[in-house]
């Protein structure tokens, strides 16, 4: 009986190693790539300017890149805001909490869209006072087979139609 213990211990260690390798290989880093678009209207503007917004979100593991690109209706760039941060929480692919730690802004030609002004203001306020700008990405609807998603981004309460990229 004394000679069986080393063999049982060795078999148990081998089983633990196999299970760890199997389940360790199953955990792939979270990958998310969304290409979203929306139309914006500045209702406070006398001319009620219209803009197009392209929102790209790339997430790999815990790293996140959020890129807002604004365009005039003629296709000329109206500005962009690129933000980097970490995904702090995600609930089964439905809600993602993103902690933005830095951003870069680029102004386009002409008037700055109201949405970009708001995004710039609120993110500056949060980054300067708290060193982090919290964002929430809520997936309202998605279909992997059709490769689309409808998402809401906070702050701003913007709803976007998105293509899912693999």
Which pLDDT does position 24 carry in this prediction?
55
Where along the chain do its domains lie? 31-164
Pick the CATH number of 31-164 from 1.10.10, 1.20.1300, 2.40.128, 2.60.40: 2.40.128
Determine the Cα–Cα distance for residues 108 and 111; give it in Å rounded to an integer: 8
The pLDDT value given to residue 69: 95
> How, if at all, do strands 133-143 and 148-154 pair?
antiparallel
Helix (H, G, I), strand (E, B) or coil at 98: strand
Task: Say whether 2 sits in a helix, a strand or coil.
Answer: coil
Look at residue 8 in the predicted model and tell me its pLDDT.
67
CA distance 24 to 32: 20
Per-residue pLDDT at 15: 63
Please give the pLDDT value at position 26.
47
Q: Please measure the distance between the N-terminal and C-terminal CA atoms of the chain and give it in whole angstroms.
A: 55
Provide the pLDDT for residue 46: 58
Q: pLDDT tens digits, the chain, 166 residues: what are they?
A: 566 666 666 666 666 666 666 655 444 445 778 999 888 876 666 566 788 999 999 988 889 999 999 998 888 999 999 999 999 876 555 788 999 999 999 998 888 888 999 999 999 999 999 999 999 999 899 888 898 899 999 988 889 999 988 6
Determine if residue 25 is left, alpha or beta; phi over 0 gives left, psi from -120 to 50 gives alpha, anything else beta: alpha
């Amino acid at each position: 009986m004394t000679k069986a213990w080393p063999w049982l211990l060795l078999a148990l260690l081998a089983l633990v190693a196999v299970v760890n390798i199997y389940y360790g290989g199953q955990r792939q880093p979270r990958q998310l790539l969304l290409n979203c678009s929306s139309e914006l209207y500045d209702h406070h503007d006398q001319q009620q300017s219209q803009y197009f917004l392209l929102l790209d979100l790339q997430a790999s593991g815990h790293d996140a890149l959020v890129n807002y690109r604004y365009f005039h209706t003629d296709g000329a760039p109206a500005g962009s805001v690129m933000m980097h941060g970490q995904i702090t929480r995600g609930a089964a692919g439905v809600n993602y909490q993103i902690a933005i730690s830095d951003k870069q802004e680029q102004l386009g030609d002409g008037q700055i869209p109201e949405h970009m002004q708001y995004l710039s203001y609120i993110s500056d306020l949060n980054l300067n006072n708290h060193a982090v700008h919290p964002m929430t990405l809520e997936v309202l609807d998605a279909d992997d087979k059709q490769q689309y998603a409808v998402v809401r981004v906070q702050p701003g309460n913007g709803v976007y139609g998105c293509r899912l990229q693999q």
